[in-house]
Amino acid sequence: MPPTVEKFVLKNGVRVLCESVSHVQSVAIGVWCQTGSRMEAKSEAGISHLIEHMLFKGTHKRSAKQIAESIEGRGGHLNAFTDREATCFYARVLRDDVQNAAEVISDMLLNSRLAKEDLEVEKRVVQEEIRKYLDSPEEHIHDLHAQHRWKGHPLGKPIIGSHESVGGFTSENLADYMRRRYVPNRILIAAAGNLDSNALRDQVENLYQNCSGQVPLPSDPLPNGGAGISKISKDVEQVHFCIGCGLVNLYSDARYPAIVMDALLGGSMSSRLFQEIREKRGLVYAIGSYLSLYREAGAFTVYGGTNPENFDEVCELTRAELKKVRETPIADEELERTKRMLSGEMVLGLEGMSARMTRMARNEMIYEREIPVEEALNKTRSVTAKQIQDLANEYITDDKLAITAIGPF
């Protein structure tokens, strides 16, 4: 019998998801907070990411070193990340250590010191991270493209903030933001692996019993689509570029055709863009595509890096590949091969407990239900060539494309 997801809602509204997988020896556990860069006010740019850093700096019962040792000293792994709509603190541990991991993460989340002296150190760390990021055009280009394409919408804001915004935060700012955003109806605990779901539920009920409050998710207007070319001059060897456009949101039935179209165009070494521009012509080292799907809107983006002399040609070749999808139905063999690739990736990914934990957490935060793997596989397998062609003709047209590039212009 395949593993099933159990859902518990604590008295204060914290949701707990558990998937027991008896044949493994580990557990992945994550505490998800539905807050990220898109929820930040202009004066709060980067605060979610800075809080993520600060929660590792010590609690009222553990130093920063003791936090790390409490997981790593038992053979586990502890980390966190912030994105536009969520912040997650997660651990992968041996099956006998899941309750220890749950307690450590709750201590970080609920009892962090947010000490002023630690904050001054960590602000410098994040500012060094910003410098590293700005010195990496292959990373920086994606945020610049989001800003260009989404024209001032909260989804276009960089997650990391700026030197100025990060440098101005105080401990009181961080504590106030956490009081407003880290509240029970926006906290989700997910665990997958060899675990006792009832024992974990009882434990977190006790750990989070004093957590209170609630906040609605933001309701922002649809982002305006920005087309045209934005070039940023920088003394680098390559031009790093993004070419993309708006697309469907997470709730659209067309998201499955979008996923297949993305995989076909740039999702692998067998994709059209990779084969045509890198393998056949040798004009790039890296080229591919990706989807960014959110509650209000989505985006399709092609990323690549090329010699400045080849930039215009690569852009034209990319447009030509997008035009083919609009004008020529995809052959049955290519479509079936792409769908098999996606289905295989989905099934193989679920052999990892971290992937299982992440999948069920995101399903709950977005759809408020578990989407069975078989349902997702059937939706993928049922995508037709006409659905992809219709989607491309609606969204991926030349007049809607935004091009962003960093290079020695």
Strand order in the sheet with 87-94: 5-9, 15-20, 187-193, 26-33, 87-94, 77-82
Backbone angles phi, psi at 326, to 5 degrees: -70, -40
Where are the extended beta strands (E) located within 47-199?
77-82, 87-94, 187-193
Instruction: Identify the DSSP state of 112.
Output: B
- Rounded CA separation 392/205 (Å): 48
Q: Which of 19, 40, 44, 52 is catalytic?
A: 52
Verify whether residue 52 is a known catalytic residue.
yes
CA angle 207, 208, 214 (to 5 degrees): 175
Question: Please, are residues 29 and 98 in contact by the beta-carbon 8 Å criterion?
Answer: yes
Amino acid found at 134: L
Instruction: Identify the DSSP state of 352.
Output: S
Full DSSP string of 163-232: HHHHHT--HHHHHHHHHHHS-GGGEEEEEEES--HHHHHHHHHHHTTT-----PPP-PPPPPP--EEEEE
In which residue are the tokens 């590039």 written? 405
- Rounded CA separation 19/21 (Å): 6
In which residue are the tokens 């297949």 written? 260
- What positions carry a catalytic annotation? 52
